Amino acid sequence: MRCFEKASGAHLNITKTKAIAIGGWETSRNDLGVEYHQTVKILGIHFRSTMEQTMHGNWTLQTARIKTNAKQAYIRELCPAQRIRYIHSILLATIWFTAHILPAPVKYTKQITTAILWFIWKGVIFRVPTATLQKPKHQGGWALHDVACKCRALLLKRIWIQSKTEQMITAALLSEWGIVDHPANPPIAGRIPKTTAYLIYYALDMAYIETPTLMETSKLFTRRLYSTIYEMDRAGSVTQEMRIVRRNPTVNWNRVWRNLHSSWVSEDRISTWYTVIHDIVPTKERLFAIHLTDTASCRQCGTPDTILHRLTECAQGTEIWEWTRHQMAMILRVDQRHIPSDWLLTPYFQVRPSQRQQAIMWILAHLV
């Protein structure tokens, strides 16, 4: 320290300096007179004496912060789509920085996922399964981030960059354990000490991931890391088709999702229509199936209470639907009998030109 002071001409301010005993450092000796601390915050990361403590300390703080923020934003009037946007841009924004540096233990990613799901659904009875919500939009999901997978992808990316930077401690450690370019497959993580847990994760995951080519940009590499880890996580588990797909396998679902997300209507209209298409509206029929009501019939007319019944058959619904159908028939210049009511539940149609398609989508979106 004295050498540093002599060479730099700077003087160490003891009162503003904190000391931290790393690993098995002996704290009884204190030659510089700098006070020892349990944690020291450097560039937003709370360092503790061991890697394990640093990891748990930081993730406990992050998880608590997300839970508090989700609670505060809970009462805001937002549709599910806006809630997911809020989660991605605000709630989770702070954890990606930590995820770059410290591995995220499952215990915390599970708690974070529970908090964001609670925030999205606000206690509704019928929900879209989380695995569906995490699918891309063109596959019937809403591209919700899988927190655990994204944390792992970001950490791998960071270590990979460091492994390529000369004179980095990480690069030296990786070369010491022989996992520089592409870790062996099957992984040989057993030899790496637990004190450098992040290298164990690296050796385990990177063994199955191709290193990026020169053509691949940094962003694309991160995306590939995420999607590979996501697929690896689900490997072996039975991937069930979505409930609506099983019920209506002949519908061109790709077109349904493409139509839905490319329609020129507000996000909350798309969001509402999405819940209608996924059939998660609490109709009597669905509530009766799980014994939450004593009848599956509509209270007004006694016929089975389904979404289609509510939209096109019951009370004012018939008139509104007939009028709307007439308007759409005029736009399309066809007989209104050619416009089936299932367009409301599965907008799979494709009409030309695109303005006409958008007009029909707009009308239907505002009807549901």
Q: Which residues make beta-bridge pairs with 37?
A: 20
Residues that bind Zn ion (CB under 5 A): 298, 300-301, 314
Neighbours of 305 (CB within 10 A): 23
> Which residue lies nearer to Zn ion by CB, 120 or 298?
298
> Which residue lies nearer to Zn ion by CB, 170 or 306?
306
> Which residue lies nearer to Zn ion by CB, 54 or 283?
283
Check if the beta carbon of residue 115 is closer than 8 Å to that of residue 66.
Answer: yes
Residue type, position 328, single letter:
M
Q: Is residue 59 helix, strand or coil? A: helix
> Which residue lies nearer to Zn ion by CB, 301 or 330?
301
> Which residue lies nearer to Zn ion by CB, 272 or 306?
306
Give the burial string for 119-138 (b: 16+ CB within 10 Å, else e).
bbbeeeeebbeeebbbbebb
Q: How far is the CB of 134 from Zn ion (least distance, A)?
A: 36
Q: How far is the CB of 337 from Zn ion (least distance, A)?
A: 23
Q: How far is the CB of 81 from Zn ion (least distance, A)?
A: 29
Q: How far is the CB of 300 from Zn ion (least distance, A)?
A: 4
3-class secondary structure per residue, 126-180: CCCCHHHHCCCHHHCCCCCCCHHHHHHHHHHHHHHHHHCCCCCHHHHHHHHCCCC
Residue type, position 41, single letter:
K
Q: How far is the CB of 326 from Zn ion (least distance, A)?
A: 22
